[in-house]
Structure 1
Amino acid sequence: MSSASEAEIVAFLKARAPRQIDTACAHVFLADETAWKIKRHVDLGYADFSTAARRLWALERELEFNRTAAPDIYRAVRPITREADGALALEGRGEAVEYVLEMRRFDEREVLAAKPEAVNGELAEALGRAIAGFHVAAPLRPEGGLSAIAFTVGSNAQLLRETCEGLDPGRVEHMIALTDAELERQRPLLAARTASGFSRRCHGDLHLGNILMEAGRPVLFDCIEFNDLLSDLDVLYDLAFLLMDLDFRGRRDAAVRVLSAYMDEAARTFGEAIWGGLATLPLMLAVRAGVRAHVEAHSGRADVARAYVEAAIAHLAPQSASLLAVGGLSGSGKSTFARAAAPALGASPGAVVLRTDEIRKRILGVAPTQGVSREAYTPDLHLQTYDTLFANAGDLLRAGRSVVLDATFTAPEMRLRAEALAAECGVPFEGVWLEAPLEVLEARVAGRTGDASDATVDVLRGQAQALDPDILWAHVDTSGSAQAAAQAWSAGRGR
């Protein structure tokens, strides 16, 4: 391949697309409907683009990797050629001197980093399930997993020590020591997960800046292609970047909704082993915060870097798990209450919410919001659903993760099982019973759409007629807003 300087290539592309965005690894040029991307002529240690062959290799992998999740954005790798008159051309007749990745330009205002407030409950749910589907379909990478996160732990330490201007060296060393200790503690579990198929070719850089909303759905783009140690990951470590990003932005509510949706969706394929892996989540969140800390420090934003160092330390602070059971008749607001209460419980980003409505659909092998006939609701299915609920909750509690159980709990024996599970796992238990006038519940059930619950008004009336009046859990009035009731309940717990 003939040569051309980086400055010459930049000038050529800037003439075609005057808006330029520079990152540590690349230059991006934006035209009206097209974006062009070239790799910088650099060797950053973790990413080597110092030769034309390495840059072409990276662009071809970037095209291949990103076409999985964003096929409509990534178009082709095209040559920039040196013509007979010495000028550069795009796909001309001369010899290639560089290569460029052509992409469709999208609306940058629709990237979630530009509007984190838009990650409402429905979008968070969709994100969690979409990412789980992406991971389930991803190729296995048994060489990654443990080795990948161990590499990043070491890389974070080195880069933070090298770029510690404006940082408190004592706090940095404290973060490094905590992270190293937690890595050693979790090493056996991480190794077992790697051997069990949880290490896959992942996105690698899955934060809000790399998620786009188009046509009402999230699109994952700009995954890492240049270093397998940054992309062949434990799937939970991939997810952890998004969870950490949301948590850092004060959106634990969205983060815990993403996590709960992800776990339910992933369990459909990965099986029961998915739950215990959350014991590694504090480490993964801390490592992701460490990545952002050295990136911000390197960019001269020491105040933000310091905040990420403190976030990493906080993620590794010991947190006690607990079990909250939220019961009530259909329409009483259990799911709203559970999701609103979850962020305040346990380690970041909060408690995993387990819904019997979703577990039932998981057992039946249908989508969470797909309707199921009443004939499917057999006594055996009812028992299997609660058995699965308590089994999943037990795995999570033993992994140190708080849990919220969202179920009707109209049967006394199921309430007793919830209390017994907490005692067995040695964690505090709280039971909350939601109630509202029957006419309010009927109106809510009649107007419900797009939810995992298949309850009808007739089902609700049957529940009310058979209800045991002596329910000893704390009674909470949800005739108004269930979310406000949950916030008031959480505030009361803090007194």
Structure 2
Amino acid sequence: MTDDKSTPDAVIAYLSQDADKVITTSCAVVILKGDQAFKIKKSVDYGFLDFTTTEKRREALLRELQFNQRTAPDVYREVTAIDGEGVLVMRRFDQTTVLAEQSRVHKDWAPDLDLMQDLGEVIADFHAGSDVCSDETHAANIKYVIDSNRHNIGVFRDRLGNARLDDYDRLVSQAYEDVADIVRTRFDGGFVRRCHGDLHLGNIFVENGKPVLFDCIEFNERLSQIDVLYDLAFLLMDLWVRGHKAAANRVMNAYLDRSARSESDVQRLYEGLKLLPLYMSVRAGVRCHVNAHNGDLDLASSYLDAAIAFLEVTNVGFMAVGGLSGSGKTTYARSVADSKGRAPGAVILRSDEIRKRLWSCPPFDRLPSQAYSEIETDRVYAHILKLARMTLEAGQSAIIDATFRDQAQRRLMQSLANDLGFRFEGVWLDLPAEERMRRVEARRNDASDATPGIAKSQTEVTDLTSEWIRLHLG
């Protein structure tokens, strides 16, 4: 390289020699060469970020290294300097494993639901270990994004439609006012943390069968010190708008189940679901103006439609799925959850998972026999009832997945529905004992402790009330 005064362009030109690929974004250039990747910040100022000096660019890269090592330590290696210009050195990974790239290349691509389960758990663990924000200036960063969206989308008012933008501005402003007090209590409860900030399919890749989060936001504290549910909402929105509704629902439920094991305030965790419509709408608003600025007005318009749709009032659904061991309750609940109520569908409260949770037992470990005593079973159903109430009151639909062998347990669900004024729907799954035993025997990595012997010993339930629909399977 020459001894000319160092600039990002000069370093980019130098590193790009014999590069395998050069990826350019609005604020950086990534150069792929061999088994390494080199990232250089551009000298740009967009208001929400300022990389106009060597020191600012280097500081941003150091933050990027530090923040991304939380989720991808083997990818983000070091920040070095070439002629005084900061360069982030990374391990190169297979770009075809990025989920957004898979979606782009394969038109019939659909997320693997087991991978989505893992992804929800990975994000929950990441949030559980993230630094809690105590700076009051970040208590309502969602309002900052709402105002930013209003300005950035407004640039395209003539092309996106004045009336539509007026409607969205009215809806999102009212939605924020309706939950402003919850936004504040979430901050007080420690749910505003240093998050990823840009958690969509383009920033998740798969390696060794596991999802890896990368390329988090490091340049703006207002965009990274956020509510953990707002962080999750970007992924939920991205999956939902792309039509992968079952995947979005699986991520949400995996996240809630895992978080409920690590968060000290489970009530606030579930009550926070009231914020999801606003959070998913704002995330869609971000994609609206990003795509508009990139010149794709059609895609921007579709995201604006989604942003409005997320704020529309939707009826809350309350369902219980019962049946003897091995009858397929969890499979059935998951198959219908994304169609219940508002995006991203119903919260599934599975008795097997919750029993393990109450005993602080890993999901796939076997509980002792005393965990299945009548007293413990009553405790499990009482806890399910509590979580269902919080979920429904937050406006999210709920599905209870349990055996419901005793009429008293079924009556509890009906009473809750009556108390809250919701229509209750019960589904009972019937399956021959031989098939149930076969399914139980074949289970792997499942929260249920049922054995083929337990499945065989269970007697058929004949006292279902009219609120329950009996489905004969097999």
Same fold (TM over 0.5): yes
Q: Distance in 2 between matches of 1:324 and 1:40?
A: 53
Q: What are the within-5 Å matches in structure 2 for residues 25-424 of structure 1? A: 25-81=27-83, 96=84, 98-116=85-103, 117-143=109-135, 146-164=139-157, 166-270=159-263, 271-424=266-419
Deviation larger for 7-16 or 310-319: 7-16
Query: Aligned in 2, Cα 1:64/1:165: closer, same or farther, shift over 3 Å?
Result: farther
Deviation larger for 114-123 or 353-362: 114-123
Deviation larger for 207-216 or 166-175: 166-175
8 Å CA contact retained: 2:407, 2:463: no
Q: Distance in 1 between matches of 2:274 and 2:229?
A: 10
8 Å CA contact retained: 1:322, 1:422: no
Q: Distance in 1 between matches of 2:223 and 2:313?
A: 27
Q: What are the within-5 Å matches in structure 2 for residues 11-30 of structure 1? A: 11-15=13-17, 17-30=19-32
Q: Distance in 1 between matches of 2:62 and 2:229?
A: 26
Q: Distance in 2 between matches of 1:99 and 1:165?
A: 41
8 Å CA contact retained: 1:433, 1:475: yes
Q: State the 1:391 CA deviation.
A: 0.4
Query: Aligned in 2, Cα 1:342/1:145: closer, same or farther, shift over 3 Å?
Result: farther
Other-structure match for 1:88: none
Identity of aligned residues (%): 44
Q: Distance in 2 between matches of 1:366 and 1:31?
A: 46
Q: Distance in 1 between matches of 2:371 and 2:397?
A: 31
Other-structure match for 2:7: 5
8 Å CA contact retained: 1:145, 1:198: no
Q: Distance in 1 between matches of 2:261 and 2:401?
A: 19
8 Å CA contact retained: 2:110, 2:244: no
Deviation larger for 13-22 or 305-314: 13-22
Q: Distance in 2 between matches of 1:5 and 1:124?
A: 42
Q: Structure 2 unaligned runs (5+)?
A: 104-108
Deviation larger for 169-178 or 51-60: 169-178
8 Å CA contact retained: 2:8, 2:41: no
The two structures, once aligned, show a CA RMSD in angstroms of 1.4
Q: State the 1:369 CA deviation.
A: 2.0
SS of structure 2 residue aligned to 1:29: strand
Other-structure match for 1:483: none
Q: State the 1:185 CA deviation.
A: 1.1
Deviation larger for 419-428 or 407-416: 419-428
Q: Distance in 2 between matches of 1:390 and 1:470?
A: 21
Q: Distance in 1 between matches of 2:418 and 2:134?
A: 38
Q: Distance in 2 between matches of 1:372 and 1:218?
A: 29
Q: Letter of the aligned partner of 1:435 in structure 2? A: D
Q: Letter of the aligned partner of 1:281 in structure 2? A: L
Q: State the 1:120 CA deviation.
A: 2.2
1:232-277 CA distance string (max 9 Å, x none)? 0100000000000000110110111111111111111222220000
Q: Distance in 1 between matches of 2:369 and 2:440?
A: 15
Q: State the 1:10 CA deviation.
A: 1.8
1:16-59 CA distance string (max 9 Å, x none)? 52511111121111112110001110011111111111111100
Q: Distance in 1 between matches of 2:204 and 2:110?
A: 12
Q: Distance in 2 between matches of 1:468 and 1:80?
A: 74
Q: State the 1:60 CA deviation.
A: 0.2
Other-structure match for 1:469: 462
Q: Distance in 2 between matches of 1:3 and 1:192?
A: 51
8 Å CA contact retained: 2:78, 2:89: yes
Deviation larger for 265-274 or 229-238: 265-274
Q: Letter of the aligned partner of 1:222 in structure 2? A: D
8 Å CA contact retained: 2:204, 2:214: yes
SS of structure 1 residue aligned to 2:429: strand
Q: Structure 1 unaligned runs (5+)?
A: 82-95, 480-495
SS of structure 2 residue aligned to 1:229: helix
8 Å CA contact retained: 2:130, 2:193: yes
Q: How many residues align?
A: 461
8 Å CA contact retained: 1:323, 1:430: yes
Other-structure match for 1:91: none
8 Å CA contact retained: 1:352, 1:403: yes
Q: Distance in 2 between matches of 1:132 and 1:145?
A: 21
